Amino acid sequence: MPGQRVDTILDRLRGEGIRVTTARRAILTVLTEHAGPISVDDLASAVQSRAPDVHRATVYRNLSDLEDLGLVLHAHTGHGPVMYQLASGARSQLICESCGTTIEVGPELFSALARRAREQYGFVVHPHHFAVLGRCVRCS
Amino acid sequence: MPGQRVDTILDRLRGEGIRVTTARRAILTVLTEHAGPISVDDLASAVQSRAPDVHRATVYRNLSDLEDLGLVLHAHTGHGPVMYQLASGARSQLICESCGTTIEVGPELFSALARRAREQYGFVVHPHHFAVLGRCVRCS
DNA sequence: TTCGATGCAAATAGTTTGCATTCTA
DNA sequence: TAGAATGCAAACTATTTGCATCGAA
């Protein structure tokens, strides 16, 4: 299944005149197999276990390109590292500032905030681009 | 009025055995006079226009100490710089990912999100520690 | 064979730290 | 005058960029 999904994306890339390389395939495979957001660090490690020669700079460049194409999204997590995930089925995160525990949540959690921001300020919230910081059950 | 407020804070610091220095006074004065969150960069510039010899490292060290005392808060703003503000009367921010426009908002905007996060996950949201990213009226 | 993509190294930005010196209390 | 706080420089982390080389189409 994941392999098929990767191939679908690669076909789309080819259609856009973008070349299918070892690095690109490995990055998309890891993103597809890993449900939810993953840090560049973890992503690069996973990629390098498949294709050892892939350089970090290449990972950054690819993530940036894939994001421009609308295929992946990044999220800022405060003190923590930037997290990437496939755009389809993207999830948001609640992150504990004390222990780092991360809870993945759907966009419905933001519906009221999004509505108020839009009504009061005309501001459209992007729930996938930032983590909600706070304190988890165990730490509070 | 601001001067009085700064003195109140300085008295409290003295009470905790913390010394009142030129740098500390300047940092607190700028934070008090500037309503809402300010970046370290802007804060340092404003501090240096009052006390030119204050080094950036000192600004960072002081902000960290003041935060430990619960007097100031920092917020992560995604791609942008970390913002600091006095803890009393702290505001949250909606930041446009396209043009950088910032809207300051009160904590009431987060009430529904905070309630759902608490009810469903026992997670306590800290609305002041992260900015809400999205797109402003003009950019969307 | 062409030119997009890569590896590598160096540059950059934001922040932290070690240490000798300064200055508050 | 003791030791907290500072200035400075160097270290660090995360990310970006220039450039010569490589390889997908």
**Are B36 and B67 a contacting pair, CB within 8 Å?**
no
Measure, in angstroms, how far nucleotide C14 C1' is from residue A70 CA.
28
Read off the pLDDT of each residue in A68-95 and give the average, rounded to a whole number. 95
Model confidence at A77: pLDDT above 70: yes
Measure, in angstroms, how far nucleotide D21 C1' is from residue A103 CA.
44
pLDDT of residue A4: 78
Model confidence at A52: pLDDT above 80: yes
Q: Which residue in B62, B93, B97 sits closest to B76, CA to CA?
A: B93
Read off the pLDDT of each residue in A34-51 and give the average, rounded to a whole number. 96
> Beta strand pairing status for A83-86 and A72-75?
antiparallel
Nucleotides of D under 7 A from a protein CB: 4-10, 14-18, 23-25
CB contact under 8 A, B122 and A131: no
* Contacting residues of A for B126, CB less than 8 Å apart: 97, 133-135
Measure, in angstroms, how far nucleotide D19 C1' is from residue A58 CA.
15
pLDDT of residue B24: 97
Model confidence at A3: pLDDT above 90: no
pLDDT of residue B82: 97
CB-contacts to strand D (7 A): A 14, 19-22, 40-41, 56-57, 60-61, 64, 81-82; B 18-19, 21-24, 51, 53-55, 57-58, 61-62
CB contact under 8 A, B121 and A140: no
Model confidence at B2: pLDDT above 80: no
CA B79 – CA B107 distance, rounded (Å): 22
- pLDDT classification of A38: cutoffs 50, 70, 90: very high
Is residue B15's beta carbon less than 7 angstroms from any atom in nucleic acid strand C? Answer: no
Render pLDDT for B37-68 as a digit per residue (tens, 0 to 9). 999 999 999 999 999 999 999 999 999 999 99
Q: How many CB atoms lie within 10 A of CB A79?
A: 12
Percent of chain A predicted with pLDDT > 70: 98
pLDDT of residue B65: 96
Percent of chain A predicted with pLDDT > 90: 94
Backbone angles phi, psi at B75, to 5 degrees: -135, 140
Render pLDDT for B11-36 as a digit per residue (tens, 0 to 9). 999 999 999 999 999 999 999 999 89
Read off the pLDDT of each residue in A114-136 and give the average, rounded to a whole number. 97
Model confidence at B139: pLDDT above 80: yes
Nucleotide nearest B41 (Cα, C1'): C14
Model confidence at A43: pLDDT above 80: yes
CA A93 – CA A105 distance, rounded (Å): 6
Query: What length is written for chain A?
Result: 140
Helical H segments across B52-126, by residue range = 56-68, 111-121
pLDDT of residue B117: 98
Helical H segments across A22-126, by residue range = 22-33, 40-50, 56-68, 111-121
Is residue B51's beta carbon less than 7 angstroms from any atom in nucleic acid strand C? Answer: no
- pLDDT classification of A1: cutoffs 50, 70, 90: low
CA B59 – CA B41 distance, rounded (Å): 10
Q: How far is A53 from chain B (nearest CA, A)?
A: 29
Instruction: Report chain A residues touching chain B, CB-CB < 8 A.
Output: 76-79, 94, 96-97, 103, 105, 109-113, 116-117, 120-126, 129-137, 140
pTM: 0.93
**Are B109 and A116 a contacting pair, CB within 8 Å?**
yes
pLDDT, chain B, mean: 95
CB contact under 8 A, A137 and B131: no
CA A77 – CA B135 distance, rounded (Å): 19
pLDDT of residue A129: 97
**Are A54 and A47 a contacting pair, CB within 8 Å?**
yes
- pLDDT classification of B4: cutoffs 50, 70, 90: confident
The H or E element spanning position A10 is: helix A2-15
